[in-house]
């Protein structure tokens, strides 16, 4: 195996074991990320309010907020980051089918994901639990570390290869770093968030079966499950399959309440 391939393989192994620590070394520590996220979240909500895009009163907002408030204490119990989260929710008036979370517990929902998919409260909890898990496991921080490692891998690989690597060689390094480090790592984080969200919603008393029905609805909306190859997210069918495997453990938690 070439030195280039060896260097990429070594960086790939490090990505999965030390991305968060690498992010700390790069100045993206938890406290800093959470503070920056809080500032960005405040700015975003102020701009949304000014444009009348911030939902604070509709039935959709009330339902999302009730799920958020119910999951929050259980999320706090699971917080092992060493940083207290100031959980906040913003619901945006938009047909966009999406939701996301920023470091420190800043959750954003678009009304479209609830209205277009006709979600039940349990299905909203599946999304909320997924997003909260991303924050609790500091996946944004890990992805920053992964990107830094990817850039380092490319630099090492190019240095080993020398000036005669050519266009094809550069393309191989780029593709190798993407497939070897970036995308599989992102898919792994999504799968972890799926599992953590399943367990979180169960602890809060939401039926974990709703996570499966949620992704079945998403699959119908997408038109097809598609392939998870070269994607930062698992395919819908893969997600559903994994959730079915994890469902007995989540149901056990749900039934113990």
Enzyme catalytic residues: 131
Task: Name 81's Cβ contacts closer than 8 Å, sequence gap at least 6.
Answer: 30, 136, 138
E runs forming strands in 56-161: 88-92, 99-102, 106-110
Q: What is the DSSP string of 171-235?
A: HHHHHHHIIIIIHHHHHHHHHHHHHHHHHHHHHTT--THHHHHHHHHHHHHHSS----TT-SS--
* 249: three-class secondary structure by DSSP: helix
Q: How many residues does the chain have?
A: 257
* Residue 227 burial (CB count, 10 A): 11
Tokens of 212: 């499966």
* 56: three-class secondary structure by DSSP: coil
Q: Which residues of 160-170 are buried (b: 16+ CB within 10 A; e: fewer)?
A: bbeeebeeeee
């Amino acid at each position: 195996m070439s030195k280039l391939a060896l260097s990429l393989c070594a960086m790939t192994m490090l990505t999965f074991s030390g991305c968060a620590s690498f992010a700390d070394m790069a100045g993206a520590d938890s406290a800093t990320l959470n503070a920056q996220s809080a500032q960005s979240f405040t700015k975003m909500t102020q701009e949304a309010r000014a444009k009348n895009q911030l939902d604070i009163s509709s039935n959709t907002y009330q339902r999302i907020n009730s799920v958020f408030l119910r999951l929050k204490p259980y999320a706090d119990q699971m917080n092992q980051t060493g940083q207290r989260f100031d959980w906040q929710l913003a619901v945006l008036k938009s047909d966009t089918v999406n939701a996301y979370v920023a470091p420190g517990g800043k959750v954003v929902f678009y009304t479209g994901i609830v209205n277009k998919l006709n979600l039940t409260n349990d299905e909203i909890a599946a999304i909320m639990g997924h997003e909260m898990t991303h924050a609790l496991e500091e996946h944004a921080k890990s992805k920053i570390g992964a990107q830094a490692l990817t850039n380092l891998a490319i630099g090492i690989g190019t240095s080993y290869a020398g000036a005669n690597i050519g266009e094809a060689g550069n393309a191989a390094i780029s593709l190798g770093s993407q497939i070897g480090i970036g995308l599989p790592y992102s898919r792994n984080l999504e799968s972890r968030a799926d599992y953590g969200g399943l367990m979180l919603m169960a602890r809060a008393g939401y039926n974990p079966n709703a996570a499966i029905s949620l992704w079945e609805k998403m699959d119908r909306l997408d038109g097809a499950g598609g392939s998870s190859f070269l994607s930062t997210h698992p395919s819908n069918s893969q997600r559903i399959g994994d959730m079915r495997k994890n469902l007995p453990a989540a149901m056990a938690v749900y039934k113990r309440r």
